Chains A and B, each alone.
Chain A
Amino acid sequence: MRLISSIAKWMDARLQLGSAIRESAEHAIPRETASWFYVFGSAAFAVFLLQIVTGILLALLYVPSAGEAWNSLQTLNQSVPLGWYIRALHGWGSNFMVAIVLIHMVQVFMFGAYKYPRELTWIVGVFLLLVTLGMAFTGQVLRFDQDAYWGLGIGASIASRVPVAGPAIVKLMLGGPIIAGATLSRFFALHVFVIPGLLIAFVALHLLMVLKLGINEWPMPGRLVRKATYTEEYHELTKKDGLPFVPGAIWKDLFFVAFILLSIGVCACVFGPFGPSGPPDPTIIQTAPRPDFFFLWLYAVLSFLPPSMETPALLIGPVVVILALLLLPFVSGEGEKSWRRRPVAVLTVLLVAVALGTFTRLAEHTPWSPVMDAWSGDPIPSKFLHQRSALERQGALVFQVKQCHNCHSLGDEGGKRGPALDAVAVRLTHDQIIRQVIQGGGNMPAYGQNLSPAETTALVAFLETLHPAGEKPAQDAARSVLLEQNTAPDPSNRR
């Protein structure tokens, strides 16, 4: 023990860091901020450290070459003892990091911590969010599988829509004219050197400002921020009712960090690593690429935007959102901090959370995508075939063979792209069904060229049987009058 303390003394006599470290560790913080609400920043930092360590461990075996990357992931998963676990830690660490950074941001927003004098801390925080998302996207590319390959294609398609510079941006992004070796190499450089460098620099700035400006005090309704008086009031608060950060608050950070790291370990152990899915071979087109969890909402948005709005929304949307985040502390840099007196802030967070949650949930089911194998894989439930005529059953066959089932469900089986057809005969009359099948419209392809008259007749006969037992099929009023006239009993036939 005495040896350790004499070594420490010897070191400190030369480094002269001891007093500075002690000073920052013991700096006074407002008593209420020693709270479980204030642990997310340190947890994000801890997960970042975990990502650095596991990232380096993966780099020991990962081969950043388009021809070899997928194989090296297989080696990690299958052949190297616990290689799968390191991959799983890094993958789950990534998800936890994005989640915690988002939670941290919401907490900071709700507690008004972005107001004077912490505007720059918030702005650096916005950049930290962007580089964290950048790490998540580039990391997904390094898992060089089918999803990564086609995900890059989607990225290139979005980038190409930039006016004038689009094609040049695509080539810069891909490192050439197609997604290939150079593409993976540059995403490796981004993920391993460029973005982590930025991340470390931003984290250092962010932490420095938290130390210099002090942690945001617990917001009290009615205690307003004014530039002229804030600094004095804050120092008064820490002096009168302060705690040293160590050990006053840090124990909660430490408990939470341990809990998060353990959670990542358990998730990694139980759920295992992410992918890789199929090999990145562009000639294998039997694939339905999907982005990772935190980009699923975007996947949903891209399928719901009307075509005419897509390019403007893709190019202008992100700029507006980032500008809004950056300008926030300048627009409302003073005034009320407490979320109890900021209904617009609360509603904004709720709205964004509900929107992102809904889109993410939808993207897990992708109701907008045709189910590519429903025509061959999902049979028509037998209740729709029971007691049907030969023609109607022939129509059911046409329904399957012509891939109608890929977009339309029957008895909840099949695609959800178009409306379910369980009761289509109640909605559409005979003539309307024929027109819809032949001409399409309302986002349905026209089948006029791909159905023979006999097939059309059979298909329509089948579709007309699709109505609930108690409900009559839709009828053209004019036609039924005409039919009644034609079939009215002929007086001359009366006996």
Chain B
Amino acid sequence: MTVPADLSRRALFMKIGIFLNGVVGLILAAPVVRYLLSPIARGQRGGYDSWVSLGNLAQFPSGQTRLATYQNPFADRSDGKTADIACWVRNVDGQTYQVFAVNCAHLGCPVRWFPQSGLFMCPCHGGVYYRDGSRASGPPERGLFQYDYKTTGGMLLIKAGQLPTPGQPSQTSNLVRETRSCA
């Protein structure tokens, strides 16, 4: 009597063997997936943002905009210089401040401040912003990204830790546009 191939003992064992490997594969894969997703999970658990100091308030004279740097709170030893991040600090009136990311709201190139004309200009695609960070012209759809800030003990602190991107405005508060009078 001939037994159909798919009913034989060997064929059954082969199927069990494939099934076993599938199960083991899943067991091995789960930690791998968790490992791969760690950059996302870590941000959700503790959040990447924390308060970092930009230094003494005296460095930021009233009415001026200055470049400040800080070390990213999640810096690792292998980061080298990339852990140092720059931002623009505007002392509006001696009381209130605005801290802008250097990253253009278009595609993230570093914007430069021109105090004479009161404009931030981007070297990549020509985005331009006013001194209050609002969009002046060019391809950006919005104003510059802003960090939340607070002043404690004569120090200026900002909440930072992530690369600001157009899709992630979480750390950036909406801009209050200064009223511009038309002459």
- Residues of chain A touching chain B, judged by Cβ–Cβ distance below 8 Å, are 65-68, 149-150, 153-154, 156-162, 166-168, 170-172, 174-183, 185, 279-283, 285-289, 299, 302-303, 305, 307-308, 310, 368-370, 372, 375, 401-404, 406-407, 417, 438-440, 443-450, 453, 456
A310 to B79, CA, bound (A): 32
* B80: A residues at CB distance < 8 A: 65-68, 181, 280
B12 at the interface (CB under 8 A from A): no
Rounded to whole angstroms, the CA-CA distance of A19 and B67 in the bound complex is 71
The distance in angstroms between the C-alpha atoms of A172 and B161, with both chains bound, is: 16
| Interface membership of B55, Cβ < 8 A | no
A-B contacts, 15 listed (Cβ < 8 Å): A66-B78, A67-B80, A183-B82, A185-B78, A282-B84, A289-B109, A302-B107, A305-B139, A307-B139, A310-B139, A370-B121, A440-B137, A446-B180, A449-B180, A453-B183
Asked whether B83 is an interface residue with its Cβ less than 8 Å from the other chain, the reply is: yes
B42, B76, B128, most chain A CB atoms within 10 A: B128
Contact B85 A157 (CB under 8 A): no
Known: A162-B167, A182-B76, A403-B119. A307 touches B140 (CB 8 A): yes
**Could you say which interface size class chain B belongs to?**
35 or more
Best-surrounded residue of A280, A402, A450 (most CB of chain B within 10 A): A450
Which one of A167, A172, A174, A369 contacts B124 once the chains associate, using CB atoms below 8 Å? A369
Q: Which residue of B lies closest to A303 (CB)?
A: B125
Cβ-closest chain B residue relative to A64:
B78
Asked if A171 contacts B167 (CB within 8 A), the reply is no
B78 vs chain A, min Cβ distance (A)? 3
Q: Give every chain A residue within 8 A of B48 (Cβ-Cβ).
A: 176-177
Contact of A281 among B81, B130, B180 (CB under 8 A): B81
B106 to chain A, nearest CB (A): 7
Known: A154-B107, A175-B39. A283 touches B84 (CB 8 A): yes
Residues of A close to B2: CB separation below 8 A: none
A167 to B114, CA, bound (A): 31
Is the Cβ of B117 less than 8 Å from the Cβ of A447?
yes
- Bound together, the chains give a CA A322 to CA B69 distance in angstroms of 42
Are A172 and B78 neighbours in the complex by a CB distance under 8 Å?
no
Contact of B112 with A170 in the complex, beta carbons under 8 Å: no
Count of A-B contacts with CB under 8 A? 225
Which label, helix, strand, loop or mixed, suits the secondary structure of the B interface? loop
Q: Which residues of A contact B53 (CB under 8 A)?
A: none
Q: For A283, list chain B residues within 8 Å (CB).
A: 67, 69, 81, 84-86
Q: Does B138 sit within 8 A of A, measured CB to CB?
A: yes
Residues of A within 8 A of B39 (CB): 171-172, 174-177, 182
Residue of A nearest to B171 (CB): A177
Contact A66 B137, CB 8 Å, known A178-B72, A438-B183? no
Assess whether A439 is in contact with B165, with CB atoms less than 8 Å apart: no
**How would residues 113 to 130 of chain B score, 1 for a CB under 8 Å from any chain A CB and 0 otherwise?**
010111101111110101
Known: A150-B109, A177-B161. A170 touches B118 (CB 8 A): no
Q: Which listed residue, A168, A181, A281, A287, touches B84 by the CB 8 Å rule? A: A281
**CB-CB nearest in chain A for B103:** A153
Q: Evaluate whether A180 and B79 lie within 8 angstroms (CB atoms) in the complex, with A170-B165, A171-B39, A174-B163 already known.
A: yes
Whether A161 contacts B167 by the Cβ 8 Å rule is yes
The reply on B16 being an interface residue by CB < 8 A is no
**Are A282 and B86 in contact, CB atoms less than 8 angstroms apart?**
yes
9 tightest Cβ-Cβ pairs between the two chains A and B: A67-B80, A160-B167, A166-B167, A181-B78, A445-B136, A160-B165, A153-B108, A303-B125, A288-B123
A286 → chain B closest CB, angstroms:
7
Q: Write out the residue numbers on chain A whose beta carbons fall within 8 Å of the beta carbon of B84.
A: 281-283
User: Which residues of chain B from 67 to 118 have a CB within 8 Å of any chain A CB?
Assistant: 67, 69, 72, 74-86, 102-103, 106-112, 114, 116-118
**B5 within 8 A of partner (CB):** no
**Known interface pairs A160-B165, A450-B119; 7 further A-B residue pairs with C-beta atoms within 8 A, sorted by A's residue number:** A66-B81, A157-B167, A161-B166, A167-B168, A177-B48, A369-B122, A403-B114
The verdict on B181 contacting chain A, using a C-beta distance below 8 Å, is yes
- Complex CA gap A299/B182 in Å reads 35
Within the assembled complex, what's the spacing in Å between the Cα atoms of A203 and B110? 40
Given contacts A154-B107, A439-B182, contact A369 B114 (CB under 8 A): no
**Cβ A448 vs Cβ B138 within 8 A:** no
Asked if B62 is at the interface of the complex by the 8 Å CB criterion, the answer is no
The smallest beta-carbon distance between A99 and chain B, in angstroms, is: 25
* Inter-chain contact A444/B137, CB cutoff 8 Å: yes
CB contacts (< 8 Å) of B140 on chain A: these are 307
Q: A372-B121, A445-B128, A448-B182 are in contact. Are A157 and B137 (CB under 8 A)?
A: no
A156/B108 in contact, CB under 8 A: yes
User: B182 touches which one: A166, A406, A438 (CB < 8 A)?
Assistant: A438
A474 to B152, CA, bound (A): 58
Q: Pick the residue among B37, B108, B123, B165 that contacts A369 (CB under 8 A).
A: B123
Residue among A182, A282, A289, A456 having the largest count of chain B Cβ atoms under 10 Å: A282
Q: Does B162 contact A (CB under 8 A)?
A: yes
A287 and B165 within 8 A (CB): no
Query: B121 contacts A177, CB within 8 Å?
Result: no
In contact, A180 and B75 (Cβ under 8 angstroms): yes
Q: For A440, give its contact among B118, B124, B136 (CB under 8 Å).
A: B136
Tell whether, in the assembled complex, residue A160 and residue B182 are in contact, meaning their CB atoms are under 8 Å apart: no
Which residue in B36, B72, B109, B136 is a CB contact (below 8 Å) of A446? Answer: B136
Q: Give the residues from 147 to 181 in chain B that come closer than 8 angstroms, CB to CB, to chain A.
A: 161-163, 165-168, 170, 180-181
Contact present for B81 and A279 (CB under 8 Å): yes
Distance of A307 Cα from B138 Cα, bound (Å): 8
In-complex Cβ contact of B108 among A66, A150, A444 (8 A): A150
Q: Which residues of B contact A302 (CB under 8 A)?
A: 106-107, 125, 139
Contact at B79–A372, with CB atoms within 8 Å? no
Set of chain B residues within 8 Å of A279, measured between Cβ atoms: 81
Complex interface: chain A residues within 8 A of B163 (CB): 153, 156, 170, 174, 177-179
Q: Which chain A positions have C-beta within 8 A of B26? A: none
